[in-house]
Structure 1
């Protein structure tokens, strides 16, 4: 199994903006066959170094992660993220 973890820091860090983006991410659940698990977590500390959202997804293989990365719904999510991100996201992909 491959676990894909991404952290996002948003331009607008208000509760409403963070929740709206979390909803965009959560909307992928059940709509991409190769996406076996999804969890969206919202930061509770709100410190300057905190990221606002953590996305944890799981896939059966690296090939499935590549399929996900190019899935039309995920491409829509990435387009949304480009609009709301404060800089770039960071990620880690590992075998689990």
Structure 2
């Protein structure tokens, strides 16, 4: 299995209740169940107030690298990415793991 982690940082001056952010979160929430490659899906707002903390995270799982690639290329995922590009930056990590 492949774990796909994404950490988002909102742009300076952008708040969680900004309508663009609300729409972006809704777009990513809707991906679970709509993209068959997703095996595990979890997302949420960071509760840490440490200065190095990111604001929002997605923790997801896929059977293999090909499934992850299909997810990344999926039109619904790409539509969500397009929304987030307007108000945030992000970093990712993809690594193998054993499901428990």
The TM-score with structure 2 as length reference comes to: 0.83
Q: 1:93 maps to which residue?
A: 94
Q: Aligned-pair distance for 1:44?
A: 0.9
Native 8 Å contact 2:41 2:60 kept in 1: yes
Structure holding more helix per residue: 1
Farther-moved stretch of structure 1 (48-57 vs 60-69):
48-57
Figure out how many residues of one structure are paired with residues of the other and give that number. Answer: 94
| Structure 1 outlier segments of 4+, above 6 Å | none
TM-score by length of 1: 0.87
Among 22, 33, 53, the alignment partner of 1:50 is 53
Identify unmatched segments of 5+ residues in structure 1: none
Aligned CA-pair RMSD: 1.8
CA distance in 2, matches of 1:19, 1:47: 21
Residue 15 of structure 1 pairs with residue 24 of structure 2: no
Could you tell me which runs of 5 or more consecutive residues in structure 2 were left unpaired when the two chains were aligned. none
Query: Hey, what does 2:37 align to over in structure 1?
Result: 34
